Amino acid sequence: MVLLMLPVQPFMDQAHAETGKVTISVSTLNVRTGPGLSFAVLTKVHRGEEYKIVETQKDWYKVETSSGDGWVADWLVTVEESVSSDSPLHEGQVNTDGLRVRKGPSTSDVVVTVLQNGDTVTVTEEDGDWLQIESGSTTGWVHREYITGSKSSQGKQSLHKQGIITDDALNVRSSPSLQSSVLGVLNKGDEVEVTGSVSGWYEIMFGDEIAWVSDSYVEFSTGSLQRETNRSEEESSSTGEMIGIISVHGLNVRDETSLNGRIVGKVSKGEKYTLLKEKNNWYQIKLSNGEKGWIAGWYVQKTVTAAAHEKNSPNENVTILYNGTNIRSEANTQASVVKRAASGETYQVMSKDGDWYEVELADGSAGFVAGWVVSVRSAAGENTTPSRKKTGGLEDKVIVIDPGHGGRDSGTTGASGTLEKLLTMKTGELLAEKLKSAGAKVKLTRKTDEYLSLPSRVSLSHYNQADAFISIHFDSIMDSSITGHTTYYYQNQQKELAEEIHGSLSDRLPTSDRGVRIGDYHVIRENNRLAVLLELGFLSNPSEEANVNTQYFQDLAATAIYHGLSDYFSE
């Protein structure tokens, strides 16, 4: 899926003139009437075609086409760089560990060597999104996103300022490109040390790592002073400690950085731990019993916390949703239970720690309750959590099914030409029939191949007072070896629904499990009902594309989503 994320910007960025040419990097690319995914499509262009740049604006290039001037996203094109024929393009630096250097410019070519983060290379040639590099006596090809200095990192300006993140679930990336790997996330209010900038991006310190975030979501205090470059270690670490969020159920904690290590404990999905050390993509954490151990880094989402607690409004209350809800001594599911609360009980919020609320108990002591088992009320008594009718199964539940894309918005195009918009419609129709047979009241955001804006889809969810909103998509990525299904949520109250549906998908689908993740997508971000977004497979992988096109897979996926919803709405 490629055309879903709609960051909201309060004003239009200033454009400036530009020279040069862009080469289209994807099979089919929409040229839009303005610099954003919400603008109408002017025309379509294709891989390998070249167009003259008229001007640039943030992450967009305005180019000349036979249909007139229009805008293309910079992460889907390559920019021609003028280089003398008798000298290399430039120096670059590897920004990831285990980078495979290939004999030719594709993932099907054989690997000639492996480079590590920080290795310096010389770029000698370009071929679309691939760079030919020299490292020592070895020459080979790598994708440009893994070489800092290959494109957007050139012309970096040095900064030394404290910034504040202005949005939740902001991806932290390894290089200044939307195609680079995600190192972790930051949330609204987090403080970061900004050390540099390029067009559209800020370089930051993410723990001990250099990383990049979009400059649209960072602001500086007008009263803040620039930091001295030789500040003390205490000052430089004041931006917070590195936190790991567990992304799978029942992750083993081991006594060494190996799957052969002795198991010393288990941690659960959603729990947060301070990352004490990192070694070979393993992280050391401290369990509630005081024992330390190691967890596999590929099951950890990293973030940074600026403080242990986030203070809330003194008049904010939480109401317990279920009888026997545990109130614990600390903000994790392994902490001791200090009280069992009954449904309907209300507590004053003292502070917030991640997904947990610190509340004041009757005797004046404090305890922690998980955000997914309470509703939150403001000082005015407004309920900020959607009502949850988890009884009676699917009978009379209002389920809004959102088949992604449609009409002029085809979504992603598969390796063999599959259009995402048609595949999501098939899955949505099958799911609708299954839900109707169980007594649910089903609404489809679209019933034909028609274009529907993202705000309109959310409005349908609100208008119908949906008990659940399910947005269906299929994924795509430049690396055609990637496969699997992913479930996204954005708000805390959406998390439990996402986990139920994803668990059912993982139990039934033959595709690999990519986990439940926070996703900054409009249809779930702006939705005040319980909403999730499903990516059911990668059309960019030829084998998976063929698989998801079968009637067998479509029915299996619809059945899995049906059972996930049924489980969620049953006691």
65 exposure class (CB count in 10 Å sphere: 0-12, 13-18, 19+): middle
Give the C-alpha separation, 218 to 338, whole Å. 39
488, β-bridge pairs: 517, 533
pLDDT tens by residue, 493-519: 899 999 999 999 998 898 889 999 998
Sign for the CA dihedral angle at 142, 169, 412, 415 comes to positive
Question: Is the separation of the CB atoms in 467 and 530 below 8 Å?
Answer: yes
Residue 157 banded pLDDT, cuts 50, 70, 90: low
pLDDT for residue 3 is more than 60? no
Q: Report which listed range, 63-72, 129-138, 204-213, 326-335, is most confident.
A: 63-72
262 and 294 in contact (C-beta within 8 Å)? no
Q: Inform me whether the pLDDT recorded for 403 exceeds 90.
A: yes
How are the residues of the chain apportioned to helix, strand and coil, as percentages rounded to the nearest 5? Answer: 15, 40, 45
DSSP classification of residue 28: E
Using only the alpha carbons of the chain, give its radius of gyration: 25
Facing residues of 126 across strands?
131
Interacting residues of 481 by C-beta distance below 8 A, sequence separation 6+: 107, 541
Please report the pLDDT score of residue 114 as a whole number: 80
Across the range 459-478, mean pLDDT stands at 90
Helices (H), 161-300: 233-236
Say what the pLDDT of residue 372 is: 61
Q: Are 302 and 242 in contact (CB under 8 A)?
A: yes
Least confident of 123-127, 158-162, 550-554: 158-162
Cα–Cα distance measured from residue 486 to residue 480, given in angstroms and rounded to the nearest whole number: 16
* Averaged pLDDT for residues 205-233: 59
**328-338 pLDDT per residue, tens:** 888 777 778 89
Per-residue pLDDT at 40: 83
In the numeric block, the tokens 């603008």 are attached to 39
SS3 (DSSP) at 429: helix
- Name the region of 58 (left: φ>0; alpha: ψ -120 to 50; beta: rest): left
**Whether the predicted pLDDT of 24 surpasses 90:** no
Residue bearing the bigger pLDDT, 490 or 109 = 490
Tell me the pLDDT band of 484, cut-offs 50, 70 and 90.
Answer: very high
Tell me the percentage of the chain whose pLDDT exceeds 90.
Answer: 18
361 vs 100, more confident: 361
Q: 157: closest CA among 200, 98, 111, 115?
A: 200
Give the count of beta carbons closer than 10 Å to the beta carbon of residue 38.
Answer: 13
Query: Hey, what are 518's tokens?
Result: 């926070």
Q: Residue 91 belongs to what H/E stretch?
A: strand 90-94
Six-digit token string for 531: 């909403």
pLDDT value at 489 more than 90: yes
Confidence band (pLDDT; 50, 70, 90) for 13?
very low
Measured between alpha carbons, how far is 60 from 79 in angstroms, rounded to an integer?
Answer: 12
| pLDDT reported for residue 547 | 92
Between 490 and 320, the more confident residue is: 490
Residue with tokens 């004490």: 276
**Is the confidence at residue 17, as pLDDT, over 50?**
no
Contacts of 130 (CB under 8 A, 6+ apart): 105, 106, 141, 142, 143, 144
User: pLDDT confidence of 281, banded at 50, 70, 90?
Assistant: confident
pLDDT at 548 over 90: yes
Whole-angstrom Cα distance, residue 26 to residue 18?
22
Report the interhelical angle of 495-508 vs 551-568 (nearest 10°): 140
What value does the mean pLDDT take over residues 459-467? 86
Binned at pLDDT 50, 70 and 90, residue 364 comes out as confident
User: What distance in Å separates the CA atoms of residue 62 and residue 51, rounded to the nearest whole number?
Assistant: 9
Q: What is the pTM of this model?
A: 0.38
Q: Which of 169, 174, 139, 171 minimizes the C-alpha distance to 153?
A: 174
Q: How confident is the model at residue 209, as a pLDDT?
A: 73
H or E segment and range at residue 546:
helix 542-548
Instruction: State the CB neighbour count (10 A cutoff) for residue 533.
Output: 28
Find, among 384, 241, 244, the residue nearest to 301 by Cα: 244
- Amino acid, single-letter form, for residue 561: I
Residue 129 reports pLDDT greater than 80: no
HSE of 478, CA atoms in CB hemisphere, 13 A: 19
The overall average pLDDT reported for the chain is 78
pLDDT at residue 211 in the model: 81
Q: Of 67-81, 87-101, 255-269, which has the strongest mean pLDDT?
A: 255-269
The Cα 431–Cα 403 span in angstroms is: 10
